[in-house]
Structure formats: structure tokens, C-alpha cells
Amino acid sequence: MADIADQPLWSLPATRIAALVRAGELSAVEVAKSALARIEAVNPAINAVVESRPEEVLAAAAAVDAVVAGGGDPGPLAGVPVTIKVNVDQKGYATTNGLKAQKDLIAKCHNPVVANLLGAGAVAVGRTNTPAFSYRWFTNNLLHGHTYNPRNKALTPGGSSGGAGSATAAGIGAIGHGTDIAGSVRYPAYACGIHGLRPTIGRLAAYNASGPDRGVGPQIMAVSGPLARSIADLRLGFEAMAKADPRDPWSVPAPLVGPSVPKRAALCLCPDGMETAPELKKELLAAADKLRDAGWQVDELEELPPIDEAVAIQLTLWMGDNYAGQVAAAQAEGDPGAIAALAGQKDFAATIGAAEFSQALVNRMGIARKWALFLEDYPVVLLPPSAELPFADNLDLKSPEDYQRVWKSQMSMVGLPVAGMPALTLCTGLMADNTPLGIQIVSGRFREDVALDAAEAIEARGTPVTIAEPVI
């Protein structure tokens, strides 16, 4: 283990930890102790982890070591410290979703994605923060408080998986669990300078026994996904999470690796007229060159299948599903961010009736078909993660104009889930003030392996992600 002698165990990649623990060369308990020390050292500055129970963490790690000592295999994530977002069920913990109203909603069983992570040998070291109702691309609420970006406190850590992004970037856990309906994995990964994968809808089973079944929009667009500091760790976390479960009737036991596809990618700097920041255009062009160096054909295109049109469908399926009830719940909670998030869509919500809601579902099929056909020709698409560099923290609350600016900039976060295919954000570097830079990569349905392969080729020709050291 000479190659890790000078590195704190919490800083090791998941792939390395798992290999050493499974081989009996490293104790999961020692890794867990190191991870808990890291939480104690940096979490006060960022408030990414809102609940951690050291005794339970160490007991879980000891159970992994016991399996190894008995000659068994604890799984592909043996001893790997992970974090779990507070909007999914973890047995014995409150599924708060950032709400005072749910502070005592204690889960009686694991969400399938949690069961899959722990069943693969991972050790959950803490629960991570989310905005109230998981509504925003900024992370603070009245129950758990404000989460900060560990690379630059003036920037949002993203949302709604802002706690997961902040924690993973700061070395709290090698893999973070997040959820994504409109960018809630991809945007925190981008904002915190790490990587995040939104899998295909149906790839990861979804079910919270603690609450009622979800509405139409979340059922067909919301997914769980991993955040990590390397693509190898992102792949490892994804593969551990990706199991079907009968409690989610729409989950699909699809193969993790599909047939070979042509190494052909489309590059689009300004999809649907997006006013992409020059810094992000530069990163996309550089990423395209790296893919070419890896043997890919990359064609720069002016147009992609619809994204902006898909944004309207996303909003219709969200705001058209009991908007008045959503507003009442936000007001009862009293959370300024949730109230503002809904108020900003009031005029749009007023246009949605039963006919518009039904038509949105019909139109979703056409958009998904256009993307599916396009991805037959171009198995990978490179496009911006956002029109802007990561936002100033709480920008959406500064004025109605700023709220609309945020939404306009997030077209590629909001629109892509409508078509159901996977997408990931790849960190490509940091600016002088530690503002993260990145790109977004899209592939065909159930072809996460293709997006990961492309991301890995770009990552290998760039600068590795560093661990953030937040300033208290």
C-alpha cells in the first residue's frame, strides 16, 4: 500500500478503496474513521451533510470487514464512503426533503437505490442537504440551513442535490447520491466542479415507502444518480445503483453495456439559440478536440432535436399538476425559495388546463422520438451544461428578472429529461477564482456506457478533478 501511504484514506477514489478492502489490504473501519474525520473538519464550513451517526457508520464498516475476514465478497463498493440525499428513504432516518413538515417522517425501509448502494458494500456516512421540496438550483431551507459551494462560497453549490455536490467536491464521501428531474444531479456537479450522471428514466428503481406515489411529471422524468470526482467512480456508483425493483413497476433490468456504436459525436455550442457563455464554448471546443484525439469523429452542428420546446412540456407536467396545492404547501412551510420558485411560474401555470396537460404528454412522445432518431446517427452529443457559469448564490431570489434569467439559462438542464435519455456533466477545469467549468454529454436511452466512455476519453486528456478545501 505504499502508493497510498501519504494520502488520507478519505481522499482515495472509490475504485481504489473498494479494491483494497475487498483484497483485505485495507480496513473499511479505518476508511470510515477517516471519512468521519473529514466531515468533522470541513462540514462546518459548507453544511453539506445535515445528519451523520458515527456509531452506525463504524458498525456498517465493521460488517464489511467481517465479510472480508470470513472469505466473502462484500460487493463492488466494499467500504466506500457514500452520502445519501435527504429526499430518499434510508431506514431509520427522516426523509425530510428539506422540510420542517417532514422532520419526523422516519423511513421504515430503504429506497431501492439506497438498498442497492449498501448492498454493494458501500458505507453511508451522512445525509446531504436539499432545498425545500427539492425545487431549486440553490440549496438552503428552514430546517437544515444553507449549504455552500466548497470551491467558491459566493457561488451556488447547485440544487437540488447541492449537499451531495458540495460534500463530494470537499472529499466527504467518494460517491454522492443525488436525484434529478430538471438538473438536480447535473447542475450541482457542474457548479461544484465534479462529475454527475443522470441515468435513463427507469434505469434506477425509485420508491419511497414513506410517502405517496409521485405525480405524473416526477414519475416519467425524475431519477436518482451518482456524483463523483472521477468518471471511473461515477461508473462504479452508477452500476451499483442500477438494479430493477418490483416496487417500481417501470424500472428496467437493462444490460449495463450495449452493442458497439460508431465513435461519432455531435457538438452544439448554442442549442435552440442558447446564449452560451464564451468560457463554456471554449470548453466544448476543447472537449471536442480531445474526443477527436481519442479517435472520435466530432461534427459541429447548428441545431439539435428540440430542447426549448421540451422545457415547456417539463413545466406543464410540473406546474399543471395541482399547482394550487403546491403553492399552499410552500406557503405552509414558509420557505422563501420554494415560494419564489412557484411564484415565478404563476403566469405560465394559469395557462394550463386539462387539455394542455394532455397535449404535453402527447408532444413528449414526438420529442423523444426525434432525439432517439438523432442519437442513432450521433451516439454522443456535446452541449452546454447551462448558458452561464455557475450562478451567484441565491441569484433566483434577488429579483423577478434574475429568477427569469436563471430559468432561461437552464434550458439544457430542464429540457433534456423530457426525452428520457441519460446525460452527464463533466468538469473540465477551474477558473482562477475557482469557478468550475464543464460540459454536458448526452447518449441514447440505456446507453449510459456510451456517455461514460466519451467522458472518460475527455477526462483522460484533461486535468483531473481536485478535492476542494473550503475555508471556514
Q: What is the pLDDT of residue 4?
A: 73
Q: What is the pLDDT of residue 106?
A: 98
Q: What is the pLDDT of residue 3?
A: 61
Bridge partners, 146 (sequence order): 140
Q: In the structure grid, which three cell numbers stand for residue 96, read together?
A: 425530510
Active site residues: 85, 160, 184
Q: What is the pLDDT of residue 226?
A: 99
Q: What is the C-alpha separation between 379 and 177, in angstroms, rounded?
A: 26
CA distances from 426 to 161, 227, 283, 378, 457 (A): 16, 10, 10, 19, 11
Q: What is the pLDDT of residue 472?
A: 65
Q: What is the C-alpha separation between 34 and 333, in angstroms, rounded?
A: 37
CA distances from 197 to 124, 422, 441 (A): 19, 7, 9
Q: In sequence order, what are the residues at sequence separation of 6 or more whose Cβ sits closer than 8 angstroms to the Cβ of residue 435? A: 151, 152, 155, 389, 390
Residue ranges of the chain whose pLDDT lies below 50: 2
In the β-sheet with 81-85, what is the strand arrangement from edge to edge? 49-51, 123-128, 81-85, 175-180, 223-228, 195-198, 423-430, 436-443, 380-383, 264-267, 297-300
Bridge partners, 124 (sequence order): 82
Topology classification of domain 2-460: Amidase signature (AS) enzymes (3.90.1300)
Cα–Cα nearest to 326, from 150, 90, 133:
133
Bridge partners, 155 (sequence order): 392
Q: Where are the domains of the chain?
A: 2-460
